[in-house]
């Protein structure tokens, strides 16, 4: 339900950004795909860092040269610690406001993200499996390097979750998670 409302908001905002594109800016709507390295930092009874790899799809709309909104979704694979506990980012969804700083006549765009993310974490220990969605505020920074008016290479760092509790009496006891990601990919405006 929340994701649908965010998409409807994106559509409404996208219709107002047509004037920006008509004034010589990039086409307002953009899509992207990134290869993502997720880092789960678990603190608590058994602190450990889990490194998984996955992908992230992005849909956004520029509201002008300095502001955009975007939603994204993706997933990662799993990593196992020495005790046999495996963690996986089954599903990652997020919605952001984005502040852009265009440089070199818009060929380089440095940006900051702020918004909300939800990470569906799957934990496995032997025959015991548990999934839980952890959500909270999210932020990040990135850079886009444009080779043409509409297509860019993108690199970014995002903290999807910071110090969020994961409470499960059967698998992980009162642990906290940070979920960070480094991504590299491509974005195309249309």
Residue-wise pLDDT for 62-77, tens only, equals 999 999 999 999 998 8
Question: Model's pTM, two decimal places?
Answer: 0.81
Integer Cα distance of 134 and 68 in angstroms: 25
On whether the CB atoms of residues 70 and 93 are closer than 8 A, the answer is no
Residue-wise pLDDT for 124-149, tens only, equals 877 888 787 888 899 999 999 999 98
Structural domain span for residue 158: 2-189
The CATH number covering residue 77 comes to 2.40.160.20
What total number of domains does the chain contain?
1
Residue-wise pLDDT for 12-63, tens only, equals 554 554 445 445 567 789 999 999 998 877 776 667 777 889 999 999 999 9
Integer Cα distance of 70 and 99 in angstroms: 11
């Amino acid at each position: 339900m929340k994701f649908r409302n965010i998409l409807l908001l994106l559509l409404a905002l996208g219709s107002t950004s047509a004037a920006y594109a008509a004034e010589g800016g990039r086409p307002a709507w953009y899509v992207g795909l990134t290869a993502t390295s997720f880092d789960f930092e678990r603190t608590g009874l058994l602190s450990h860092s889990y490194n998984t790899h996955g992908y992230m799809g992005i849909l956004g709309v520029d509201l002008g040269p300095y502001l955009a909104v975007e939603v994204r979704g993706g997933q990662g694979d799993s990593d196992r610690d020495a005790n046999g506990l495996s963690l996986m980012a089954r599903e990652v969804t997020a919605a952001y406001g984005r502040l852009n700083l265009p440089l070199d006549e818009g060929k380089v765009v440095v940006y900051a993200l702020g918004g909300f993310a939800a990470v569906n974490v799957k934990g496995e220990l032997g025959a015991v499996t548990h999934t839980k969605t952890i959500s909270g505020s999210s932020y990040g920074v990135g850079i886009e390097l444009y080779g043409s008016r509409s297509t860019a290479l993108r690199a970014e760092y995002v903290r999807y979750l910071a110090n969020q509790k994961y409470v499960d009496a059967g698998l992980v006891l009162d642990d906290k998670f940070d979920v960070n990601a480094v991504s590299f990919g491509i974005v195309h405006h249309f």
